[in-house]
Structure 1
Amino acid sequence: MIEFKLNGDFIPMIQLLKAAGLVPTGGEAQIVVSEGEVSYNGQVDYRKRLKVKRGDLVEFRGNKIMVI
């Protein structure tokens, strides 16, 4: 599990995927989110600009990101 330390109130989903090193570009992050490859707190979510906050869990291709 990846623990991502949040600086601020939230981070957009596509920026989180890129910052965690799971995708190389923001463009690729947009594609994987729009294709339903990312789950947010156990549910598939298609919103690219979703505001991910502390305590949220994001899953992508077998990787889990816990936002702290």
Structure 2
Amino acid sequence: MAAKRAPQDVPIRDDSIRLGQFLKLAGLVDTGADAKDAVAFGAVSVNGETETRRGRQLVVGDVVALGEEQARVASGDADDVDVPW
């Protein structure tokens, strides 16, 4: 089994963010509907544990994985970061 890629740091503006919002911000899904489905089907993990609550609050340092992609919640202003999307 291939190792997952290192997580990409994705800055958030506040102290926390909901899982569904973070999935979109990180580019792991395209829409809120995609986020809802991925979480409902158990395809998303947070810190290595399967998460089925789309509204789960994430804080800086949490690592979210969907398939081989991973993103880590980072502090900072998302407007100041050059993102590819």
State the TM bucket, normalised to the shorter chain: over 0.9
Correspondence for 2:10 among 4, 10, 13: 4
For 1:39, give the aligned amino acid: S
TM-score for the superposition, normalised by structure 1: 0.94
Question: The residue matched to 2:12 in structure 1 has which SS?
Answer: coil
Over the matched positions of the two proteins, sequence identity in percent amounts to 34
- Residue 6 of structure 1 deviates from its aligned partner by 1.6
What are structure 2's unaligned runs of at least 5 residues?
1-6, 75-85
Superposed CA RMSD in Å reads: 0.8
Distance 2:12 2:29 in 1: 18
TM-score scaled by length of structure 2? 0.76
2:56 is matched by which residue type in structure 1? L
Residue 36 (structure 2) pairs with residue 22 (structure 1): no
Aligned mates of 1:13, 1:35 — CA distance in 2: 14
Q: CA deviation at 1:23?
A: 1.0
Say which one has the larger Rg. Answer: 2
**2-structure distance, mates of 1:66, 1:20:** 9
Deviation at 1:62, TM superposition (A): 0.5
Report the counterpart of residue 48 of structure 2 in structure 1: 42
